[in-house]
Amino acid sequence: MGYGLLAAAIAAEVAGTTAMKYSEGFTKLWPSLATVAGYLLAFSLLAQTLKTMQVGTAYAIWAGVGTAAVAVIGMLFLGESASLAKLAGIVLVIGGVVLLNLGGAH
Contacts of 86 (CB under 8 A, 6+ apart): 71, 75
pLDDT-above-90 percentage for the chain = 85
- Please give the pLDDT value at position 73: 97
Cα 6 from Cα 20, distance rounded (Å): 21
Cα 7 from Cα 15, distance rounded (Å): 12
pLDDT (tens, 9 = 90+) of the chain, 106 residues, equals 899 999 999 999 999 999 999 999 999 999 999 999 999 999 999 999 999 999 988 999 999 999 999 999 999 999 999 999 999 999 999 999 888 888 765 4
- Please give the pLDDT value at position 78: 95
- The answer to whether 14 touches 69, Cβ cutoff 8 Å, is yes
Cα 93 from Cα 86, distance rounded (Å): 11
Is pTM, for the whole model, over 0.85?
yes
